[in-house]
Chains A and B, each alone.
Chain A
Amino acid sequence: MLKIKNLKASIEGKEILNGINLEIKAGEVHAIMGPNGSGKSTLASVLAGRDLFKVTAGSVEFEGKDLLDMSPEDRSCEGIFLAFQYPVEIPGVSITNFIKAAVNAHREYKGLDPMPPSQFLKFMKEKKALVEMESKLTNRSVNEGFSGGEKKKNEIFQLAMLEPKLAILDETDSGLDIDALRIVANGVNKLKTKDNATLVITHYQRLLDYIVPDFVHVLYNGRIVRSGGKELAMELEEKGYDWIKAEVNGVS
């Protein structure tokens, strides 16, 4: 599904990603872990097409297409979803109207007519139930005055509505208490099929108790320095990141 080869990216001349190689197949859950400043969120942003970052080398192939050549909205319509670490407020625009515009933009991209309102409401009701999203939230303006938990829940609700092929969760666990974390993780797990994939970006192992990864990668200094199964996450939880830093720095 996703093939990242030797990806390098920088911001204002400063290199953040320094040659990432990663392949994700349908049905898989990958976790990217790493210390602060290792480039985890940059990777998510670059995949979503944020042009703050300049790609200086490498390639990203998504479902056989050149991802780096696409606009952010086309990437979305092709099936890439980013659950933001810091979801943005859009005052005066209700979540319902926002997600309706998004769903219909996806449909237009596929050459379909806008979803009839009655069908849309039914579809939304289904997805709301699936991710435990309350109606009082969907009637409110997008993220305006939301708590951390509500914002993340809203991200997962949108994920459910847009049914992407690849979901990238950028530090979705940050700012969540244990109950909110469970709801969010349950939502993600319910949405998992053999045809889609998930890339979980996290600093802590905690989230991975709920969203169990098939593969764990450790990002450090803009490079994946170690990959393994879910036991790698446990090891990191136990020992911290210092031993990996030492290892890498020792080698280089």
Chain B
Amino acid sequence: MANKEDKIINELKEKEYEFGFVSDIDTEIIPKGLNEDVIRLISSKKKEPEFMLEYRLKAYRNWLKMEEPNWAHLNYQKPDFQDISYYAAPKKQPKYNSIDEVDPELLKTFEKLGIPLEEQKILAGVAVDAIIDSVSVHTTFKETLREKGIIFSSFSEAVREHPELVKKHLSSVVPTNDNFYAALNSAVFSDGSFVYIPKGVRCPVELSTYFRINAANTGQFERTLIIADEGSYVSYLEGCTAPMRDENQLHAAIVEIVTMKDAEVKYSTVQNWYPGDKEGKGGIYNFVTKRGICKGNNSKISWTQVETGSAVTWKYPSTILKGDNSIAEFYSVAVTNNFQQADTGTKMIHLGKNTKSTIISKGISIGKSQNSYRGLVRVSRNATNSRNYSQCDSLLIGDKCGAHTFPYIDVNNTSSIVEHEATTSKIAEDQIFYCNQRGLSTEDAVSLIVNGFAKEVLKQLPMEFAVEAQKLLAITLEGSVG
């Protein structure tokens, strides 16, 4: 059995990145480097109003005073921020009336990624705001959504068409000086998605955005802002893959979510950035700030993430539970392989009374990877009768990987209850043999066991996304372990 496990681990290690291809699309890139002129150039290229330029410059000046964080359980070469180009846009950016007008190269890329731009996929109920590099190229279902008063557009478009909404909510959850990467993003972000759901509206489709890094040496700085007005509901899906690269690429996104009274946002991510090769060379640096605020009473934010990619991940989708009786959830599966490093988790900040949060984190470590859960649960003095339940499970495959748990708990009243459970397990030989005896190959056995391990999280994903996530897990485990 020991031999078989080794064999599987070796095969797994050799599993190449499935979506590693580079598409050949004309891209406009500005020269490398970062200074105030570059920021002015970005802002003017995007024809932004004055308040945006001021916002960016303020963020940049903050950033200059900040230092790159060192506290995470991560070890990597710090990026040279003057060696990055901060803006890349596909040259043609007209608004298409039909899919036939879209650059066929781009469509081919979408096809390889399985992005549902085609008619039948639209019929399946997915409106897609696809992003290649930094500019939004195609939006579907927009008219249908507009009828309900829902705004689902690229961030740039929202800046032009709904400046008052953007001005009101931008950085209302993640201040420009929140952290080093948030400041950088705020200064240079190129584009992203904007969602506004009006009062009492239940968004009839899953909103979905695909991100993709595509131009060599271009850092990606996406910005997402989702506002759910009183009594509204939306389910938002984010998924991404990236082509193979030799140099490390920086990805520093910000996602902000605001839910008003009685509103609910469900935010699901399947993340598959290029993780680097089996020697640990290349791969994406994913330093993301995701945060939501349950602003109104009885509101809810639910984060679900399946993380299989990136060389280095630094990511803590968090929720501030400000409204009384608000609810926050965080469901996460993070898989690391080869030399991947992930330091991920969440923060639940309880401010309102009777607030409730749930954290379910499942870490799977393979090869020589390091997988850390880092979570903060803070219950303020006024957040009486609040509850948190945290469960952090780690699964190890092979004996050269690591799993770490760093829970921080800070409770400031006596009526709240905080629970934390953690387990670490290995896939046992007798589990694999049991599956073998029923006719399953070791690879299928491991895949089955891993899917079982992650089930609590996977079942939170919308149906179509869950299938994609399972596919991704299987690809990650293929030849492996299964």
Q: Residues on A close to B: CB < 8 A?
A: 48-52, 71-73, 75-77, 81-82, 84, 87-93, 97-99, 101-102, 105-106, 109, 141, 158, 162
10 contacts between A and B (CB under 8 A): A50-B433, A52-B1, A72-B437, A73-B439, A77-B439, A88-B430, A90-B449, A93-B449, A93-B455, A101-B438
Within 8 Å by CB of B1, from A51, A73, A102, lies A51
User: Residues of A contacting B452 with CB < 8 Å?
Assistant: 90-93, 141
A93 touches B451 (CB 8 A): yes
Interface centre among A81, A101, A162 (most CB of B within 10 A): A101
B431 touches A101 (CB 8 A): no
Chain B residue nearest in CB terms to A77: B439
Within 8 Å by CB of A51, from B4, B444, B453, lies B4
User: Residues of B contacting A87 with CB < 8 Å?
Assistant: 434
B448 touches A93 (CB 8 A): yes
* B72 is an interface residue with CB less than 8 A from chain A: no
For the side of the interface on B, what is the size category? 20 to 34
Chain A residue nearest in CB terms to B455: A92
User: Residues of A contacting B431 with CB < 8 Å?
Assistant: 88-90
Chain B residue nearest in CB terms to A91: B452
* B428 is an interface residue with CB less than 8 A from chain A: yes
A92 touches B444 (CB 8 A): no
Report how many A-B pairs have Cβ atoms within 8 Å.
78
User: Residues of A contacting B456 with CB < 8 Å?
Assistant: 92
A76 touches B437 (CB 8 A): yes
User: Residues of B contacting A93 with CB < 8 Å?
Assistant: 448-449, 451-452, 455
* B27 is an interface residue with CB less than 8 A from chain A: no
Q: Which of B315-346 contact A (CB under 8 A)?
A: none
B436 touches A73 (CB 8 A): yes
User: Residues of B contacting A50 with CB < 8 Å?
Assistant: 1, 433
* B165 is an interface residue with CB less than 8 A from chain A: no
A102 touches B438 (CB 8 A): yes
User: Residues of B contacting A141 with CB < 8 Å?
Assistant: 452
Known: A72-B436, A92-B456, A102-B440. 9 other contacts (CB 8 A): A50-B1, A73-B440, A73-B441, A76-B439, A90-B448, A90-B452, A93-B455, A105-B441, A158-B438
* B117 is an interface residue with CB less than 8 A from chain A: no
- B159, chain A: closest CB distance, angstroms: 44
- A35, chain B: closest CB distance, angstroms: 25
With contact pairs A51-B4, A90-B431 given, residues A98 and B448 touching in the complex (Cβ less than 8 Å): yes
* B396 is an interface residue with CB less than 8 A from chain A: no
User: What CA separation (Å) do A49 and B440 show in the bound complex?
Assistant: 13
B433 touches A102 (CB 8 A): no
User: What CA separation (Å) do A75 and B449 show in the bound complex?
Assistant: 21
User: What CA separation (Å) do A183 and B276 show in the bound complex?
Assistant: 55
User: Residues of B contacting A109 with CB < 8 Å?
Assistant: 439
B1 touches A105 (CB 8 A): no
A102 touches B455 (CB 8 A): no
Within 8 Å by CB of A91, from B434, B438, B439, B453, lies B453
User: Residues of A contacting B454 with CB < 8 Å?
Assistant: 92
Within 8 Å by CB of A105, from B434, B444, B453, lies B444
A101 touches B436 (CB 8 A): no
Chain A residue nearest in CB terms to B452: A92
User: What CA separation (Å) do A91 and B451 show in the bound complex?
Assistant: 10
B437 touches A48 (CB 8 A): yes
Q: Which of B143-186 contact A (CB under 8 A)?
A: none
Interface centre among B436, B437, B440 (most CB of A within 10 A): B437
Q: Which of B400-439 contact A (CB under 8 A)?
A: 428, 430-431, 433-439
B448 touches A162 (CB 8 A): no
B434 touches A84 (CB 8 A): yes
A101 touches B437 (CB 8 A): no
- B441, chain A: closest CB distance, angstroms: 5
User: What CA separation (Å) do A99 and B438 show in the bound complex?
Assistant: 8
B444 touches A101 (CB 8 A): yes
User: What CA separation (Å) do A87 and B435 show in the bound complex?
Assistant: 11
